[in-house]
Amino acid sequence: MSVETGEIKGLPESGKLQRLFETNFLDYTAYVIRERAIPDIDDGLKPVQRRILQTLRNMDDGRFHKVANVVGETMKLHPHGDQSIFAALVNLANKEYLIERQGNFGNIFTGDQASAARYIECRLTPLARETLFNPDLTEFVDSYDGRMQEPVTLPAKLPMLLLLGAEGIAVGMATKIMPHNFQELLKAQIAYLRQEDFVLYPDFPGGGIIDVSDYDGGNGKIRCRALLENPDEKTIKIRELPATMTTQAIIDSIEKAAKRGKLKIASINDYTAEEVEVEIKLPRGVYAEETIDALYAFTDCEVSVSPSLTLIKDNMPCRMRVEEVLKHNTDRLLANLEKELRIELDRLLEKMHARKLELIFIEERLYKKIEEVTNYAEILKTVKDSLVPFRNELVRDVTGEDVERLLEIRIKRISRFDINRQRKEIRTIETAIRKVRKSLKDMVGFTISYIEGLLEKYAERYPRRSRMEQFDQVDARAAALSNLQVGYHRESGFLGSKIKAEDKKKDLELTCSELDRLLLIFKDGLYRVVNVTDKFFIGSDLLWMGVVTDDQVFNIIYRNGAENRSYVKRFKTPRFILNRDYRLFPEHKRSTIQFLEPGESGVRARASLVPSSRARYNSLEIEFDEYLIKSPAAKGKRVSTRVVRRVSSQTGKPREAQSAPPVLPGFVAPANKGAPGA
């Protein structure tokens, strides 16, 4: 294909077709990003939400409207179907800030759907009426069919983008903006206006517990947990939900985990209505304290959310931080309030000008001067000239429109004109003008007062729902049920959850979970860490197996075949890569482990030495506590200059009571404290 011409050989006109696709795709991409999926930074709304709110404003008469009627009216502005409008309206209403509901709008906790649009009603909330609309500050454009006017953005006086949150998938980008608390947002605006530092964290309608350690100003990651209570040891209740989850989704995840054997439950019931209440009953032998960790580890009672603050600013998509968005919205609020004050000042001045003109016209009886004038143009000129001496008392010069308004005053009104009442009204207007001018001199103070007024009026309705805590990652292995019996059959050399230990004296067996990792130590000093599997071959020389635990101490005596001398050493659970072989001492055909027992303290052993006629003793008592814990690869300390014939354990119960497997001559099988019966 030629880059310059866009032509493909063998396909006539293909270059034109390709350019057509490219152009249309770019147009489509820009449309989806700006007109459907990504909200605007100024009012925090997507186009469909803005059209719904503007329609509700147009229809507003203080009473509830059928949602079906609202959807139908919104379709005059929205070029897409009624179902997209209905879904957006229900979603916006369930946020509870802007749309007041009447009827079944579904349940955000359970995920239940709303009733049909013909059965439910809605109207604007007082907060929406007070903070969203002002025709004097709103730029309108033609709707998609040119029959109506729709707003480009609403002059919102709240940081709506952060208050409502948003999710959307466009072409090549997506947004996931977290909702924030009403009170905290407004207090942060006040802090910004006072040039103080502020920090904002999300607040979710379902409540729950959030860990914001990795939250990065609208990006990063948030870990969210359900609030779990255990009224008794056999019952767990879910009282609050993690972000983005419903009770049905959580119940499904719990039942799925129970089927996979991750946890055990007797029953689960959802009693959620106005508040979340999911009750979990536990079976015999299972208790709430241990099950709570499993719920966080294996179900959607804990989820991670990755926010992405992508928005439209100046008609272009961009990515910002929460602090930047709040500052932008606060600067816009200050500018809009100043515009409103200046518009109000102009109206008050015009009103006072009209009242003074009327007062002068009637009090000075200027209407008498036109009684004998018959020409309309002369009448206008006479009235205008008669007002010239009073110019200093007026706000501005007299215009032809002013004169025409004076001439429209009826005789009946002139005869009943109350001069004192008119003067009192003028004084009231003058007081209002002084107040507005004073506010214009301190716009920051006026803006702070406005925000404080909103807080005083609405703050109690919107308390924080999510509580912030820093919690540790649940260890899934520790929380998993130990429901697997792993066996080692020495004769066949197989190990796994489907292998049974037939001979308790020779074979090994332990109980673990499917998430545990097994440490295998062989007689020749080789060790390996493996996952729990159904069945795999490891050979017949396995000496010890157990579940990998942090900082477990091993006490070992081994024979170095090259020197024919025995060494003692202690080490902790070694670092490892799964399924990789490591050695505790150099490989040699005569090198072997003579004693192995885990234990941090109190481990003792007796080493029997090869008899010598000159020796005063033929055995040694070894206290492992006297030896330092070193690396698994360390050589250790020599037991004796003489050959160690065998080593016997001096700790714990007799060997028969420990069910320990027999070993080759010269070995003493250890007590596997991490694996009963091993």
The residues assigned a catalytic role are 119
**C-alpha of 129 from chain center:** 29
Instruction: Please answer whether residues 593 and 625 qualify as being in contact, where contact means their C-beta atoms are separated by less than 8 angstroms.
Output: no
Instruction: Please answer whether residues 543 and 521 qualify as being in contact, where contact means their C-beta atoms are separated by less than 8 angstroms.
Output: yes
Sign of the dihedral through C-alpha 622, 623, 628, 631? positive
The closest of 203, 228, 235 to 301, measured between CA atoms, is 228
Q: Show Cβ contacts of residue 164 under 8 Å, excluding neighbours closer than 6 positions.
A: 44, 45, 92, 95, 97, 179
Partners of 283 in the β-ladder: none
Q: Residue type for 588, please?
A: H
DSSP alpha helices (H): ranges in 201-315?
A: 247-259, 288-298
The closest of 31, 105, 28, 119 to 68, measured between CA atoms, is 119
Which letter does DSSP use for residue 398 in this model? -
Angle at 250 (CA atoms; ends 238, 117), nearest 5 degrees = 100
Q: Can you tell me the distance from the alpha carbon of 354 to that of 348, in angstroms, rounded to the nearest whole number?
A: 10
Strand 565-572 versus strand 629-630 pairing type: parallel
Q: Which residue reads 């090259």 in tokens? A: 562
Q: Show Cβ contacts of residue 207 under 8 Å, excluding neighbours closer than 6 positions.
A: 227, 239, 240, 241, 276, 465, 466, 467
Instruction: Please answer whether residues 383 and 405 qualify as being in contact, where contact means their C-beta atoms are separated by less than 8 angstroms.
Output: no
Partners of 225 in the β-ladder: 209, 302
**C-alpha of 542 from chain center:** 49
Q: Which residue reads 């952060």 in tokens? A: 162
Q: Can you tell me the distance from the alpha carbon of 577 to that of 491, in angstroms, rounded to the nearest whole number?
A: 28
DSSP string, 114-163: PPPTTT-EEEE-HHHHHHS--GGG--EEE-TTSSSEEESS---SS-HHHH
Grouping H, G, I as helix, E, B as strand and the rest as coil, residue 532 is coil
Tokens matching residue 302: 């804990």
Neighbours of 460 (CB within 10 A): 9
Q: Can you tell me the distance from the alpha carbon of 346 to that of 403, in angstroms, rounded to the nearest whole number?
A: 20
